[in-house]
Amino acid sequence: MQEVDRSALRTAIVADYLNQRGGAEWVVAVLHEIFPHAPIYTTIVDPARLWPALRDADIRPSWMQHLPGLTRHFKKYLPFYYLAIERMNLQEYDLVISSSCAFGLGAKARAGAVHVCYCHTPARFIWDYDRYTQKEQIGPVARRALPLLIRVLKRWDLAMSRRPHRFSSNSADVARRIRRHYGRTSTIIHPPVDIGRFSTGTTKGEYYLVVSRLNPYKRIELAVEAFNALGRPLVIIGEGPHRVHLERLAKPNIHFAGWLSDRDVAQAYAGCRALVFPGEEDFGIAVVEANASGRPVVAYRGGGTLDTVVEGITGVFFDQPTPEALIDAVGRLEMQEWDAAGLRDHAKGFGVDEFKRRFRAFVGDTVSYGDVGARVACA
């Protein structure tokens, strides 16, 4: 296949939103590195929360950016995100790349253009509504109205799932969900982990570590209950609406560090005994970050950890979401010696360069067989 000049293919990136600094937003930052001249269309953006790699990007938020109280109440505008994605004018582009865990797959490319979607997950609040909202603080009026809204959004989501020419998924579990909900196949491309940020510690620490947003569905409460019983030190890095509840539940051996700088997070990984990963995530970048720091993980067996954790080599699993099962897993981890260099080598397979290589090939193959008729030239 013949490469063409990068200016020959007009490319746009579409992101759900850019008002947080999480794994999905990091993927957008790496996509920007691959396609540095592509503008990034999104519903809303908070410049203060951007990854540094996105500070120089041409980011084009929608009309939602001017809605009142958006910073604090962005979840309350749920139906508007779909309207904002629908109204994005992408007619000048030959290639549209959407990064989607909810809305981005609905980006509408012009006739003859190619749309590829990197899917972090089909929208959990639609397809896993009961579990997603189980512990969320939702008022009685909203709780009655939401199921009707979700039915409407489910129909929209199904219709929009036909727009991308091809899907890539961030784990085997997400690939199964894409097939189950949308009837579409996908190419698994694990998200990029910035391995260079992390280094192995010289001594094994005594504390265990959690690195996570403190939302109810993350199941951090499970780790708190287990370590209340164990009495071992646990450090929890992260912020979120569930923090107050967790702090009330925790005993003095559990420390809440809040949000830390990237450097401090890396030091916390290097100094811990192991990472505790109690939730079921689509991928779970923290697991690979811990391995990149030469530390094993105690992880719930489900979701993305099935792609990243090798039992007895990079960590241990527990099978039931109970404090007792987690306590048992901690005991098994402490009975084993862990090879820091081997853990880091394992993590390198999920690095940024590997993601770029695989995503370039995925997009190139898609465009080569599409109506555009030329292979995309990447940075």
What pLDDT band is residue 69 in, cutting at 50, 70 and 90?
confident
Quote the pLDDT of residue 374. 43
Has residue 288 got a pLDDT over 90? Answer: yes
Distances (CA, A) of 19 to 42, 65, 204, 280, 360: 10, 10, 36, 23, 26
Burial class (CB in 10 A: 0-12, 13-18, 19+), 87: exposed
Position 379 in a domain: no
Position 59 in a domain: yes
Name the nearest CA neighbour of 373 among 9, 6, 7, 13: 9
Please provide the average confidence, as pLDDT, over all residues in the chain. Answer: 89
Quote the pLDDT of residue 146. 75
* 103 and 57 fall within a common domain: yes
Position 315 in a domain: yes
The residue with greater pLDDT, 68 or 317, is 317
Position 375 in a domain: no
Task: Tell me the per-residue pLDDT of 14-34, one tens digit each, with 9 for 90 and over.
Answer: 999 998 888 889 999 999 999
Task: Tell me the per-residue pLDDT of 233-267, one tens digit each, with 9 for 90 and over.
Answer: 999 999 988 999 999 999 999 999 999 998 999 99
* 77 and 31 fall within a common domain: yes
Kindly report the CATH number assigned to the domain that includes residue 97: 3.40.50.2000
> How many domains does one find in the chain?
2
CA distance linking residue 312 with residue 335, whole number of Å: 11
Has residue 75 got a pLDDT over 60? Answer: yes
* 136 and 280 fall within a common domain: no
The residue with greater pLDDT, 210 or 48, is 210
pTM of the model: 0.85
Find the domain containing 129 and state its range: 6-192+351-368
CA distance linking residue 173 with residue 122, whole number of Å: 11
Task: Tell me the per-residue pLDDT of 110-163, one tens digit each, with 9 for 90 and over.
Answer: 998 999 999 999 998 888 766 655 555 555 555 666 777 888 889 999 999 999
Position 137 in a domain: yes
